[in-house]
Amino acid sequence: MAKDKSTTVQVQTYADHHVITQPNPLRKVLRRVAEEDRDDPVARAEKALAGLSGEFKNWMEVETIRLAAAHAAILNDGFTNATREELFRAAHDIKGDAATFGFPSAGATAESLCRIIEHAPDLGKVPSGLIAHHINAIQAIVHARTKLDTASMASELSRKLRGVADEFLAHANRDRPDHLEAVLAPSIAPAD
């Protein structure tokens, strides 16, 4: 049996940096299995996730209620740091969760809304209704999900909203190169 390798941290020092090699304490959790081993933890987890799916629509409705409440606060109080932050958080959560919950178009629309909130130089000058259209679209997508033609309509709706939002943001940020770069850069979210 091979002797256990050094258990101490090894440090190599260079002119402006150190390279630190520490023993991997997690190697003990790796084990070799036979090729015939049929256990598939990913399939098991996907099945468990599918078991949760009955709750996803309720969860999405909770998220859209939060989003609507954040928007209502803005209609009442205008854009303050607090109202802007809450609207962004509500949209950001939907952006991250919606596809997992089976509402990818709602997630795409929420992403477009996040981009407006992040990159519009003055939220008070965002074209009338653009933010409300995004919120209404997300609510409509979530509520109408059970209809047969919903998926393609939802996708088309989110695509059109994104187009309008991007056109506004590109124009509004024409003198702000950092924001313009962020607006025009593609997502680098890797596929699995």
Partner 1 sequence: MFRIDFNKLRFLVCDDNPHMRRILRTLLHSFGAREVYESEDGATALEMYSHYVPDIVITDWSMPIFDGLELAQMIRQPESKGNPFAPIIMLTGHSEKRRVTVARDAGVTEFLAKPISAKGLYQRVLNVVANPRPFIKTKTYFGPDRRRNTANAYIGPERRIGGEVEVLQQPSLLDKARTPV
**Which pair of structure tokens corresponds to residue 173?**
């940020």
CB of 19 to partner 1, least distance (A): 5
CB-based contact 87:70 (threshold 8 Å):
yes
Nearer to partner 1, 12 or 128 (CB): 12
Nearer to partner 1, 45 or 75 (CB): 45
Phi, psi of 20 (to 5 degrees): -115, 120
CB of 181 to partner 1, least distance (A): 8
Catalog residues that contact partner 1 under the rule CB under 8 A: 10, 12, 14-22, 24-35, 37, 39, 41-42, 44-49, 52, 59, 62-63, 89, 92-93, 95-101, 104, 107, 111, 182, 185, 187-190, 192
Nearer to partner 1, 40 or 77 (CB): 40
CB of 78 to partner 1, least distance (A): 21
CB of 128 to partner 1, least distance (A): 27
Nearer to partner 1, 11 or 125 (CB): 11
CB of 68 to partner 1, least distance (A): 17
Nearer to partner 1, 20 or 72 (CB): 20
Phi, psi of 12 (to 5 degrees): -110, 130
**Which pair of structure tokens corresponds to residue 91?**
């949209």
Helix H or strand E segment including 44: helix 41-52
Q: Which residues of 142-167 are buried (b: 16+ CB within 10 A; e: fewer)?
A: beebeeeebeeebeebbeebbeebbe
Q: 10 Å Cβ neighbour count for 77?
A: 10
Phi, psi of 18 (to 5 degrees): -120, 145
